[in-house]
Amino acid sequence: MIHVPVVHTLAEGEVVWGVTSLADEVYVLRQKVRDQVEVYDVINYRLQRRLTVPKNIRGFKDMTSCEHYRCVYIGDFGDPIDKCIHRLDVQGAVTRWAVNDKPWGISVNAAHNVLVTCCYVRNGKIKEFSSHGDLLRELTLPDDVITPWHAIQTRNCEFIVCHGGGNDAVHRVCKISADGRHIIKSHGGQPGSDIGQYDVPIHLAVDNNEFVFVADVNNRQVTLLSPTLDYIRQVVSPHDLKGGPSRLCLDIHRRLLYVADTEWLSATTGRVVVFSV
């Protein structure tokens, strides 16, 4: 394994459900009633401010950002009625829109639209919304993509999807066609801890050359795959973390990988570890 240096570790606190970067700041989403979003500067990692999402339900599941619209999006499981995406502008305005299925992973594509992965529906879905919540399309994934956690769209409009959890027979990362119907390539299979196996691959990050970082929760590591989904190496090991990696964010310009590290035994403590990649 090639050692990936730790640049910084943000303070421990409540469980981290999302981390993203925007301009010269890092946004950290924590599981609490108020001040859920902590904003740090990217140079010294000093806390700049805290933001409150005006909703008193601890259903947050992911966070991403958009440089084009200069905003942050938060996926909210909510209650049986209110399953939504919150949109936070850097100026402070907060809006939201309904997803109508439980959102889990979220990402932003090259068209600056929001991709919402819904894992708790039959076969799983990817819903694409405009920045202001207009539903643009809805894709149903192939039958054998069970419990999809997160999806990222590549430049040629294909999707990288990680899936598999609990008692699912297959845990892997797939490249899926632009229409969502066909698996082009995959990495993984039966859950396990050997090279080429995953045990709940829950979140992804993709760089400009389409190399893929995979957060493998129960194996407590982050794996790097080639653009063709071939195994390259482990980039974050269990020795680098106190718990398991639950969310990723790649700052492409600075080559920094932000890893949300959760101590799952207590499920009450989280932090963000910053790696130079």
Q: List pLDDT tens digits, range 95-152.
A: 999 999 999 999 999 999 999 999 988 778 999 999 999 999 999 999 999 999 999 9
Backbone angles phi, psi at 239, to 5 degrees: -70, -20
Segment 17-25 mean pLDDT: 95
Cβ burial of 253 (10 Å; 0-12, 13-18, 19+) is exposed
Residue 143 is predicted with a pLDDT of 92
What is the total count of domains within the chain?
1
pLDDT tens per residue, range 31-44: 887 889 999 999 99
Q: How far apart are CA 14 and CA 95, in angstroms?
A: 24
The overall average pLDDT reported for the chain is 93
Give me the CATH number covering residue 41. 2.120.10.30
The answer to whether position 215 is within a domain reads: yes
pLDDT at 26: 97
pLDDT (0 to 100) of residue 1: 57
Encoding tokens for residue 7? 């640049």
Determine the residue type at 34.
R
What pLDDT shows up at residue 138?
Answer: 96
Judge whether 125 lies within some domain.
yes
Please report whether residue 120 resides in a domain. yes
CB 21 within 8 A of CB 64: no
Task: Indicate whether 1 belongs to any domain.
Answer: no
pLDDT of residue 122: 74
Determine the structural domain holding residue 82 and report its residue range. 8-276
Q: Which residue has the higher pLDDT, 205 or 78?
A: 205
Buried (b) or exposed (e) across 162-174, using 16+ Cβ within 10 A? bbbbeeeebbbbb
Q: How far apart are CA 119 and CA 123, in angstroms?
A: 8
Does 111 fall in a domain? yes
263 versus 17: the higher-pLDDT residue is 17
Whether 3 maps to a domain, the answer reads no
Residue 32 in domain: yes
- Whether 2 maps to a domain, the answer reads no
162-202 pLDDT, tens digit each? 999 988 999 999 999 999 999 999 999 999 999 999 999 99
Q: Please report which confidence band the pLDDT of residue 80 belongs to, taking 50, 70 and 90 as the band edges.
A: low
Asked whether the beta carbons of 141 and 161 are under 8 A apart, the reply is yes
- Give the type of residue at 18: G
- Percent of the chain past pLDDT 70, that is, above it, reads 95
pTM of the model: 0.95
How confident is residue 21, by pLDDT bands cut at 50, 70 and 90? very high
pLDDT above 60: residue 227: yes
Where in 141-268 does DSSP place strands (E)? 148-153, 159-163, 171-176, 183-189, 201-206, 212-216, 221-225, 231-236, 244-251, 256-263
Q: Does the pLDDT of residue 79 top 70, yes or no?
A: no
Report how far apart, in Å, the C-alpha atoms of 201 and of each of 83, 148, 176 are: 23, 9, 16
Residue partners of 140: CB distance under 8 A and separation at least 6 = 123, 124, 125, 180
pLDDT score recorded for residue 123:
74
